[in-house]
Amino acid sequence: MKDKKEIHLGESIIRILSTDIPGNKNIYSGITRIRGISWSLSNAICNKLKIDKNKKISELSKKEIEDISKFIKSSDIPEFVLNRRKDFESGKSEHLIGTELELKEEFDIKRMKKIKSYKGVRHITGRPVRGQRTKSHFRKNKTLGVSAKKVKNKGS
């Protein structure tokens, strides 16, 4: 019996849009490994390109891999699935993936910090941004409550 932690050298790794995806994953869950691809978009890709969702990533042909990457880059995606609707700078709706998405998120946070919006201030102070409660959560690595000063024994 093999350990789960053991590395399988026989497994193939397929690279789609600069993301390594293990070959033993099925297409439906494997495509979601790409940053910016949600489960709903993965479902739309499988349905639109008529690819079986249970087919393994390693069984894909080069043409199918190219079709998947072309579909993701193209504007055939419905607007409600896009992850960047009405962009602040350009005003256009687009779908970002991978490092483009990470850079845009980083620039958005920097912009919010610079103009000192509510969300920007929450980012600066390390507090939750989206309205979560803070009384019982978000206390990781923070000072807890009021610490009492140590009383020195005088003369006893």
Instruction: Quote the pLDDT of residue 109.
Output: 92
CB atoms within 10 A of CB 12: 13
Residue 57 belongs to some domain of the structure = yes
Instruction: Quote the pLDDT of residue 113.
Output: 93
Torsion of CA 103, 109, 115, 116, to 10 degrees: -170
Number of domains, the chain: 1
Residue 20 belongs to some domain of the structure = yes
Instruction: Quote the pLDDT of residue 93.
Output: 84
Residue 65 belongs to some domain of the structure = yes
What is the extent of the structural domain holding 34? 13-80
Instruction: Quote the pLDDT of residue 106.
Output: 92
Residue 131 belongs to some domain of the structure = no
Residue 152 belongs to some domain of the structure = no
Residuewise pLDDT in 10s, the chain (156 residues): 444 444 454 468 888 888 888 888 888 888 899 888 888 888 888 888 898 888 888 888 889 889 888 888 876 777 887 888 888 888 888 888 888 888 988 998 999 999 999 999 989 888 888 888 887 777 766 665 566 666 666 665
Residue 141 belongs to some domain of the structure = no
Instruction: Quote the pLDDT of residue 148.
Output: 61
Residue 76 belongs to some domain of the structure = yes
Which CATH number characterizes residue 40's domain?
1.10.8.50
Residue 52 belongs to some domain of the structure = yes
Report the amino acid identity of residue 78.
Answer: P
Instruction: Quote the pLDDT of residue 73.
Output: 82
| DSSP letter for each residue of 4-65 | TTS--TT--EEEETTEEEETTSBHHHHGGGSTT--HHHHHHHHHHTT--TTSBGGG--HHHH
